Amino acid sequence: MDQKIALITGASRGLGAALAEALAPSHHVIAVARTTGALEELDDRIKAKGGQAILAPMDVNNADAMAHLCRSIFDRWGKVDFWAHTAVHAAPIGPAATMDEKDWEKSIQLNVKTTGILIPYVTPLLGANGWAMFFEDTHAGEKFFGAYGASKSAQIALAQSWAKECENTGPVVKIMTPPAMPTATRARFFPGEDRSGLSAPSAVAETLLQEYLAN
């Protein structure tokens, strides 16, 4: 049987981890993130469901490391069936006029530059039949969301261009807009928020994957 492969960049927590768990019953998951402990906890949850994962504790900003990973995936499996890019730098909210230069640079590096590097790396692995998924944030353009919103919008613009370029040839590129979830990123933006009404990442992941898993 042809084993399906899922690559999740930013898999240690939140939506990335939830997507990895949701895919685990049907895919061999390659989970990429910097936080080793969180990846190991994810691996435990995946194994508890009878799934398998390869943990890649690395910084997705390290282009050489990501190139090596993609080559290793090609050498072992020759493909990736599904790629979800959930890694993001969430700069603290605040006025654009007081934006921290280091946070701005980190936002551009991870949210824009790294995305632009990873798309060419992963495209050959996806081929014509693979799926890629990116995640839009509706806060772009709102007050105090300058660094995060601008860099996230640029990331989505890259993904939208790629999606249009692939319409007739594949892979399938989807830009999804998840509902608000009680993630660490959201907690940075809205500390003290009542999180009881937010959507669980596990439920959101199941919904986002419905179309892909139905194919």
Domains of the chain: 5-214 (3.40.50.720)
Q: What CA–CA distance (Å, rounded) separates 48 from 145?
A: 39
Determine the pLDDT at residue 2: 82
Q: What CA–CA distance (Å, rounded) separates 64 from 66?
A: 5
Q: Is the pLDDT of residue 1 over 60?
A: no
Percentage of residues in the chain having pLDDT higher than 90 = 95
Determine the pLDDT at residue 15: 97
Q: Concatenate the DSSP letters of all residues of the chain into one string.
A: ----EEEEES-SSHHHHHHHHHHTTTSEEEEEES-HHHHHHHHHHHHHTT-EEEEEE--TT-HHHHHHHHHHHHHHTS--SEEEE-----PPPB-GGG--HHHHHHHIIIIIIIHHHHHHHHHHHHTTT-EEEEE--TTTTSTTBHHHHHHHHHHHHHHHHHHHHTTTT--EEEEE-PPP---HHHHHHSTT---TTSPPHHHHHHHHTHHHHH-
CA distances (Å), origin 148, targets 10, 76, 142, 192? 16, 36, 10, 20
Q: 139-185: per-residue pLDDT in tens? A: 889 999 999 999 999 999 999 999 999 999 999 999 999 999 999 88
What is the average pLDDT value for the chain, to the nearest integer? 96
Mean pLDDT (whole number) for 56-81: 98
